[in-house]
Amino acid sequence: MPMKITLPDKSSRELPAESTGYDLAKDIGPGLAKSAVAVEVNGIQKDLNDVLEDKSTVSIITIDSKEGIDIMRHTLTAQVLAKAVKNLYPESKLAIGPTIENGFYYDVECSETISIDDLEKIENQMHKIIKSESSITKKLVSKKDAVKVFDSLGESYKKEIINGVSLHWVEIGSGSLVVMLHGFPEFWWSWRHQIIPLSRKFRVIALDMRGFNESEKPSSGYDTKTVATDIRDLIDYLGGPAFVVGHDWGGIIGYQLAMDWPDRVKKLCILNAPHPDAWITGWLTHSEQQRKSWYVFFNLLPEFPEKNYRDQFRTGTIRLARVMSPADVEIYREAFEKPGAATATVNYYRELVKEIPSGRHHRVRRISCPVRVLWGRRDVALDPVVNEIAMNWIDNMEVFYFPNCWHWLAIEKPRAVTRHLLNFFTN
């Protein structure tokens, strides 16, 4: 039976069963087929050779679009670069090769130093690979089989990525490690005002957490324990322990990290984020926190929260707009609308609510490292009572309130936040 495909302009086409995205593009026109690099099926990005499903809504992603350029940079250019390096330096080990705002990069470990003079040699090798017209094919295998393949090739970094989760971060400076964890619906850009000043004294890592922006977006693993494990592994990889800064969800994860692995955290600075067990206790026992937490339970709905946040971004009504410029909000919108990001980031809330009936708030481990909390009193989602509750489980905690600020202190009071961080981490 033929399948019916709906296009973005609401028109439809009938295609034979088992047709691919490329078949659809070719059916529309040879010019489109030539420029097509991928398709978006019901909001999810897929390869051109993936078989379409009946009654799907499909849009063609072309090379001249932002999404198309990102795909070409990752699928073609970055992979060609990796192959060129392996051809020239067979003993090298590949790590990750993601796209970034203005290009791409590939992390490679080599036994010999690659100088500026070698870049031309690598580029010439890339041209040679492209001229050979070798095809790039996709093969789907199980995680277990993928680990075996990379293990047999000696690609230990690729094996580690498969076993865990691939995380993207921005790094600058040297010295003691500072790891900065953002909130929802943000990414590493949240710390743009603090990164440079901190880098004059510290090695600063501003992270995209699991599911956000450029980091991997797996189908599961958004509970506080798993995400905190991601951060523990990152700190170990970077040679921690670390000073940890967390806002919103990043703060919740920071608390979890300090509870579970106290040896990884030197000091913890929290910006408008509840201790996870204090939030649960606050919700169970304080009516004001219950009232403010309505949105958490709204996020339990399937699919609708993702659509609602997209609509808020596009209309400029998202809460971020209270304290940020339209240009900054647009940057966050682009990150939120990356394939899989909306559902992945909302899943943080869905997993948190699952922990309420578990009684975990009765089994809290104490936090021994120094904790400094910076708090905007006009926060509409969190009541300061969560800080009072958290003090029951923290040995050394100080709270600084900002009376006329909302939820995004790093943006609202960038200099004051930077001063607090420098003072806290250096004294």
Catalytic sites, residue numbers = 248, 349, 407
Burial class of residue 193 in the structure, from the number of CB atoms within 10 Å of its CB (0-12 exposed, 13-18 middle, 19+ buried): middle
Q: Which two tokens stand for residue 347?
A: 């899943």
Burial class of residue 146 in the structure, from the number of CB atoms within 10 Å of its CB (0-12 exposed, 13-18 middle, 19+ buried): middle
Per-residue DSSP letter, 73: I
Of the candidates 78, 74, 80, 270, the residue with the CA atom closest to the CA atom of residue 182: 270
370 three-state secondary structure: coil
Q: How far apart are CA 102 and CA 69, in angstroms?
A: 10
Per-residue DSSP letter, 77: I
345 within 8 A of 185, measured Cβ to Cβ: yes
Q: Which residues pair with 242 in a beta bridge?
A: 177, 265
Q: How far apart are CA 116 and CA 404, in angstroms?
A: 51
21 within 8 A of 50, measured Cβ to Cβ: yes
DSSP strands (E only) in 377-419:
397-402
Q: How far apart are CA 24 and CA 49, in angstroms?
A: 10
